[in-house]
């Protein structure tokens, strides 16, 4: 019974099974005494009185693993999304910490990625905040753990929250000591699948590269202000070039102002940068000299349309297609627009000729199936069904 409740109540990053808060609520309503007999369930429920009694009776239980995921009690308080009247997972965590809980409690995903108690509070990840929502008291809760000694260099929490423009996680980590010397606390496996080694990349540099790609100018500035390395590194494209090829000339300017080495673009790189920045005059001048520039550019940059689709940059997408971009040269940008909930972009792409019934090359699923998987794309799914029914497909 306790395993069922802890499984249903908590965010599950270990497999594709979804959290089922309603099932957890029913289990507790049918078995309200479960918190009196099982510490890990009490932590999920947020029953601070029961937790205190457990720890008074058995102080060593504060770090004892158990429940469905074989976690320490603090992890269940942080990953639970079962919120009941007069119960508080925050207060449970405070009680656990007072009794000696480890603020750096964690589990390892695939022996490489450290999913900490902090990570459970911020949640999110590649599947987004609907599937993996943050704790409603996330910032306050995170401060509790950080003040208790949680490591602010939390690579997984930072990674999971970098896909949306909210900088709460990053700002808190910086406020509690995250700095330019920290390196990603993941482990990397060599190409032969052998020994796991520490990740060599600086945490702030890693975050900055994604901020550039995503067009998060405020975040990029924040990272630069805190000393993220701007120098060109062996094996990486210069940050200035990254910004230009992401269609982010303003971020490129910020990088130069902060001392990043300038990068000169030529050929397909220069053409791609002009297109993605919306510089129609320059792009058309190139095409007037050689109409094959777009074809060559899409071969060199098969994900050319992904950025505009992800960020809902409709004017850029229109320009790219008008300049000759093929919507089906690579994986259709329609999948990206669906995944990121860009309804206006979905409609635009279909109006521009994107096939709504196409299947992606990896999962062989349609855009509608991507919408269903995301869980919160009901409007997009309905629209795609209407498109199919109308014969536009």
366 in Cβ contact with 357 (< 8 Å): yes
Element (H, E) at 116: strand 113-116
Q: What's the gap between Cα 363 and its chain centre?
A: 20
User: Is residue 392 very low, low, confident or very high in pLDDT (cuts 50, 70, 90)?
Assistant: low
* Nearest partner of 158 among 109, 188, 223, 203, judged by Cα: 203
Q: Superfamily for 303-393?
A: Ankyrin repeat-containing domain (1.25.40.20)
**Is 179-186+200-230+237-263's fold the same as 303-393's?**
yes
| Separation of alpha carbons 343 and 142, rounded Å | 33
| Separation of alpha carbons 106 and 114, rounded Å | 6
Pairing status of strand 196-198 against strand 106-109:
unpaired
* Nearest partner of 43 among 79, 4, 69, judged by Cα: 79
Residue with tokens 């297109």: 275
Domain layout of the chain by residue ranges: 2-159+166-178, 179-186+200-230+237-263, 303-393
Q: What is the pLDDT of residues 333-358, one digit of tens each?
A: 999 999 889 999 999 999 999 999 99
| Separation of alpha carbons 367 and 346, rounded Å | 10
Q: What is the pLDDT of residues 295-328, one digit of tens each?
A: 999 999 999 999 999 999 999 999 999 999 999 9
Give the pLDDT of residue 127.
84
- Per 3-state DSSP, the chain is made up of helix, strand and coil in percentages (nearest 5) of 55, 5, 40
Q: What are phi and psi for residue 234, nearest 5 degrees?
A: -60, 135
| Separation of alpha carbons 379 and 130, rounded Å | 14
Considering the domain delimited by 179-186+200-230+237-263, tell me its CATH architecture.
Alpha Horseshoe (1.25)
104 in Cβ contact with 138 (< 8 Å): no
4 in Cβ contact with 34 (< 8 Å): no
Give the pLDDT of residue 289.
95
User: Is residue 375 very low, low, confident or very high in pLDDT (cuts 50, 70, 90)?
Assistant: low
Q: What are phi and psi for residue 80, nearest 5 degrees?
A: -65, 140
Structure tokens at 219: 């975040």
Q: Which residues contact 357 (CB under 8 A, 6 or more apart)?
A: 366, 388, 393
Q: Which residues contact 186 (CB under 8 A, 6 or more apart)?
A: 112, 113, 114, 155, 156, 199
Q: Superfamily for 2-159+166-178?
A: Ankyrin repeat-containing domain (1.25.40.20)
Q: What's the gap between Cα 373 and its chain centre?
A: 16
Q: Is 75 exposed, middle or buried (0-12, 13-18, 19+ CB in 10 A)?
A: buried
pTM for this one? 0.91
Give the pLDDT of residue 393.
56
Which residue(s) pair with 108 in the sheet? 114
């Amino acid at each position: 019974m306790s395993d069922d409740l802890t499984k249903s109540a908590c965010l599950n990053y270990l497999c594709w099974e979804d959290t089922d808060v309603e099932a957890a609520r029913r289990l507790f309503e049918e078995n309200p005494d479960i918190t009196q007999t099982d510490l890990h369930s009490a932590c999920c429920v947020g029953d601070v009185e029961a937790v205190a009694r457990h720890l008074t009776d058995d102080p060593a239980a504060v770090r004892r693993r158990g429940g469905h995921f074989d976690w320490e009690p603090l992890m269940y308080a942080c990953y639970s999304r079962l919120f009941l009247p007069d119960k508080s997972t925050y207060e449970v965590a405070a009680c656990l910490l007072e009794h000696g809980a480890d603020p750096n409690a964690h589990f390892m995903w695939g022996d490489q990625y450290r999913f900490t108690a902090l990570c459970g509070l911020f949640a999110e990840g590649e599947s987004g905040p609907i599937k993996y929502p943050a704790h409603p008291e996330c910032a306050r809760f995170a401060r509790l753990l950080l003040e208790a000694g949680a490591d602010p260099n939390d690579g997984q929490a930072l990674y999971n929250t970098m896909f949306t423009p909210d900088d709460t996680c990053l700002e808190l980590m910086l406020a509690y000591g995250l700095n330019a010397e920290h390196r990603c606390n993941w482990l990397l496996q060599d190409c032969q699948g052998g020994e796991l080694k520490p990740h060599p990349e600086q945490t702030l540099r890693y975050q900055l590269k994604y901020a550039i790609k995503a067009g998060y100018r405020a975040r990029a500035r924040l990272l630069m202000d805190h000393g993220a390395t701007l120098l060109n590194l062996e094996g990486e494209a210069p940050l200035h070039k990254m910004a230009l090829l992401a269609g982010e000339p303003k971020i490129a300017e910020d990088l130069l102002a902060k001392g990043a080495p300038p990068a000169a673009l030529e050929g397909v790189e220069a053409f791609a940068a002009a297109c993605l920045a919306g510089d129609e005059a320059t792009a058309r001048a190139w095409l007037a000299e050689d109409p094959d520039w777009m074809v060559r550019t899409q071969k060199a940059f098969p994900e050319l349309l992904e950025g505009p689709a992800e960020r809902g940059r409709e004017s850029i997408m229109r320009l790219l297609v008008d300049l000759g971009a093929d919507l089906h040269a690579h994986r259709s940008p329609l999948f990206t627009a669906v995944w990121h909930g860009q309804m206006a972009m979905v409609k635009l792409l279909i109006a521009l000729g994107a096939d709504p019934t196409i299947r992606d090359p990896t999962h062989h699923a349609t855009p509608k199936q991507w919408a269903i998987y995301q869980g919160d794309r009901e409007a997009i799914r309905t629209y795609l069904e209407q498109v199919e029914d109308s014969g536009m497909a």
